Amino acid sequence: MLDQAELAAVLAHERAHLRARHDLVLLPFCALGRAFPRSRLVRQAHAKVALLVEMLADDQALRQRPARELATALLRVGVSGAGQAPCGAMAAADGEVVTRAPPRRPRPPACR
């Protein structure tokens, strides 16, 4: 589904998760979610931390790959909705793909 450049951006993103051990950041929130499955606060905290972890990996990937490659890969993978990921997986946060897509830089005004 991804071209070579987009795949390289996704791999840079995933390597950032591995290097930073983001799975260990999410683990306590998964445990809290199992201990308190009805707690809205725990669900919200887990969702926000998961989003921040994804954004950290995005930032690291952007140091190696162009923003356009990462943005198109995020949109393609996020829109496809590959199903429910297990707790602690480095999956796109629910409905947050557009939030994570790198912003387009405004073009400088043309010289007259």
Q: Where are the domains of the chain?
A: 4-78
Cα–Cα distance measured from residue 15 to residue 50, given in angstroms and rounded to the nearest whole number: 16
Note the pLDDT of residue 24. Answer: 95
Kindly tell me the sign of the dihedral angle through the C-alpha atoms of 60, 62, 65, 69: positive
Query: Which pairs with CB-CB distance under 8 Å and at least 24 residues apart come from 80-85?
Result: 80/1
Averages of pLDDT over runs of 10 residues in the chain (112 residues) are 92 95 95 96 94 92 92 77 52 56 58 59
What's the pLDDT score for residue 22?
94
Look up the pTM and report it.
Answer: 0.74
CA distance 81 to 79: 5
Nearest to 12 by CA among 95, 110, 105, 90: 90
